[in-house]
Amino acid sequence: MTTAALEDREGSLWIALLGGGLARWLGNWEWEAWTKKQGLPSDLIWSIRRDRKGALWVGTSLGLARLEGRGLLRTWTKSEGLGGDNVRWLGETSDGAIWAVMKPGSVARIDPVSAKIRLFGASDGLPCGTSHRGFIDHLDRLWIATNCGVFRSDRPSAAGHFNRIDQPASLGIAVWSIAEDQQGTMWITTPEGLWRLTGGQWRQYGKADGLLADDPYVIAIAADGALWLRHRLGAGVERVEFSGDRLVRSTAIVPVDAMSHEVTAFHGFDAAGRFWRGSANGVSVLAGGSWRYLSMEDGLIWNDTDGEAFWADADGSVWIGTSGGLAHYRPPSGSSPGPLVGEPVITKLQMDQKSRILHAEFSSLSYKSEQLVRFAFRLDGDHSTDATERVISLAGLGPGRHRLEIQSQVRDGSVSTKVAAEVQVDPKWWETW
């Protein structure tokens, strides 16, 4: 039972619990979440899609769910004919049908009226054992990236039969993902690099052509037409610019680090053009040349995000899939989330004249990301020292006045202003001669 509630100046909601102490609601008004407790088939989210009627479709590791408003309307699982448990991609054709790619499994169509499932396999022109992702182009054609090439249905709303398009033999090894730019050019990634298809002509790009790595995996196309490629075997994300079929420039957005085991789980853009990247340690947002990091400390349901589980709504909010549930984030007033700064405050300063030991305690006036605030101190203008705790003891001080300075920083954000306090060390009687 709650007995009182208070919203502080940073928007955090504090709740008094009868006999249970005090609680702070993380991400109040900005974050909300759905898990198995709210009816999802699983907490592991693989894909997200908003349909033209406003319903949100969520692909999980144990089936598919449809949400409308704040209610869970329907779920589909393998036992109900879905064809697989892991729903790795979702798309919508012009007739309102939802298409799903299961891995392992097959390709499924959910009828917009009856909600019945139709599976597509070898008899429908999809002979490959594994389909990775799909894509619906501006002509309403459905493309499927498989482990034996690219297949396409030119009339998925009608017959739905798939055909293997003319393609280089090397694409028969595997195709990872497919995208289309504003000019109608198709872009395809494979284990051998990036491919461009326009007017029936193919062209391949790799590291020798200017890419920063030979493992482009998933493509996101920015409003300016640049391709943002995330790498398959690392955390790297690069922005690639073309002039016609000529690769002009490739810029590292997230640098490639061969020594790192981190990967980029998803990447994409929201309605305001901000770039979002998911990882095993939360999400990061790039806006105006500055990064902002969001994690469970901010209200995210779980830090470990999952592949392609990202959807940007037109109102500026985003949906994020994690291994612990589905998260919905609304940036304050639709603005870019700015870097957090936890201004420090010295809460206690005590000088023991006998031992000449200075005891100091300090904290931050901000409770947002309170566990991620780091402090540093320096005495009398000397070099700064990181403080692992919020309490320090300094010995060996000589007679006279001493100045202690404290600074703080949240994650890798801006360093705060300095706060300072002075103490007087009294001289011993022999130090007065």
Q: What DSSP letter does each residue of 278-346 carry, written as one string?
A: EETTEEEEEETTEEEEE-TTTT-S-S-EEEEEEEE-TTS-EEEEETTEEEEE--GGGPPPPPP---EEE
CATH number for the domain whose boundaries are 26-334: 2.130.10.10
Task: Report whether pLDDT(224) > 90.
Answer: yes
Strand partners, 424: 401
CB-side exposure of 50: number of CA atoms within 13 Å? 13
Please indicate whether residue 138 or residue 159 has the higher confidence score (pLDDT): 138
Confidence of residue 242 (pLDDT cuts 50, 70, 90): very high
Residues 302-325 pLDDT 10s: 999 998 899 999 999 999 999 999
Residue 335, pLDDT > 60, answer no
- What DSSP assignment string belongs to 66-121? EEETTEEEEEE-GGGT-S-S-EEEEEE-TTS-EEEEESSS-EEEE-TTT--EEEE-
Q: Is the pLDDT of residue 339 over 70?
A: no
Q: What is the mean pLDDT of residues 388-401?
A: 91
In order of 25, 98, 194, 356, 430, the CA distances from 52 in angstroms are 33, 10, 31, 71, 86
Identify the residue with better confidence: 365 or 190. Answer: 190
Q: Report the sign of the C-alpha dihedral through residues 37, 41, 47, 50, in that order.
A: negative
The per-residue pLDDT for 389 is 87
Q: Where along the chain do the CATH 2.130.10.10 domains lie? A: 26-334
Please give the residue that has the higher pLDDT: either 390 or 333.
Answer: 390
* pTM score, whole prediction: 0.83
Lowest mean pLDDT among 139-143, 178-182, 405-409: 405-409
- pLDDT score of 374: 87
Please tell me the predicted confidence (pLDDT) of residue 179. Answer: 98
Mean residue pLDDT across the chain = 90
Q: Residues 144, 149, 150, 153: is their CA dihedral positive or negative?
A: negative
Whole-number pLDDT of residue 28: 62
Task: Calculate the dihedral angle through the C-alpha atoms of 225, 226, 230, 231, rounding to the nearest 10 degrees.
Answer: 130
In this prediction, residue 417 carries a pLDDT of: 87
Residue 169 pLDDT > 80: yes
E strands, 103-224, where?
107-110, 117-120, 131-136, 142-146, 149-153, 163-164, 177-180, 186-190, 193-198, 201-205, 216-221
Q: Looking at this protein, which amino acid is placed at residue 84?
A: G
User: What tokens were used for 93?
Assistant: 């054709």
Residue 26 has pLDDT above 70, yes or no: no
Q: Looking at domain 344-432, what is its CATH homologous superfamily?
A: Immunoglobulins (2.60.40.10)
Give me the pLDDT at residue 216, please: 95
Q: Which is nearest to 171 in space by CA: 195, 152, 187?
A: 195
Please tell me the predicted confidence (pLDDT) of residue 139: 96
Identify the DSSP state of 421. Answer: E
Rounded-to-integer distance, Cα 265 and Cα 232, Å? 9
- Distances 278 to 265, 295, 308, 328, 387 between C-alpha atoms, Å: 5, 10, 9, 14, 30
Tell me which amino acid residue 85 is.
D
Amino acid present at 291 = W
Give the model confidence (pLDDT) of 56-91 as tens digits.
999 999 999 999 877 777 999 999 889 899 999 999
- Residue 23 pLDDT more than 90? no
Residues of the chain with CATH 2.60.40.10: 344-432
Say what percent of the chain tops pLDDT 70.
Answer: 93
* 268 Cβ neighbours under 8 A, 6+ residues apart: 220, 275, 276, 310, 312
Distance (Å, whole) CA 355 – CA 353? 6
Check residue 256 and give its pLDDT. 80
Q: Which residue has the tokens 């901010």?
A: 298
Sole residue written with tokens 């709303």: 157
373 vs 238, more confident: 238
Tell me what pLDDT residue 208 has. 95
Contact 58, 65 (CB under 8 A): yes
The Cα angle at residue 276 between residues 91 and 408, in degrees rounded to 5:
155
Return the pLDDT at 336: 53
Task: Report which residue type is found at 103.
Answer: K
Can you tell me the distance from the alpha carbon of 357 to that of 205, in angstroms, rounded to the nearest whole number? Answer: 65
111: pLDDT strictly greater than 60: yes
Residue 260 has pLDDT above 90, yes or no: no
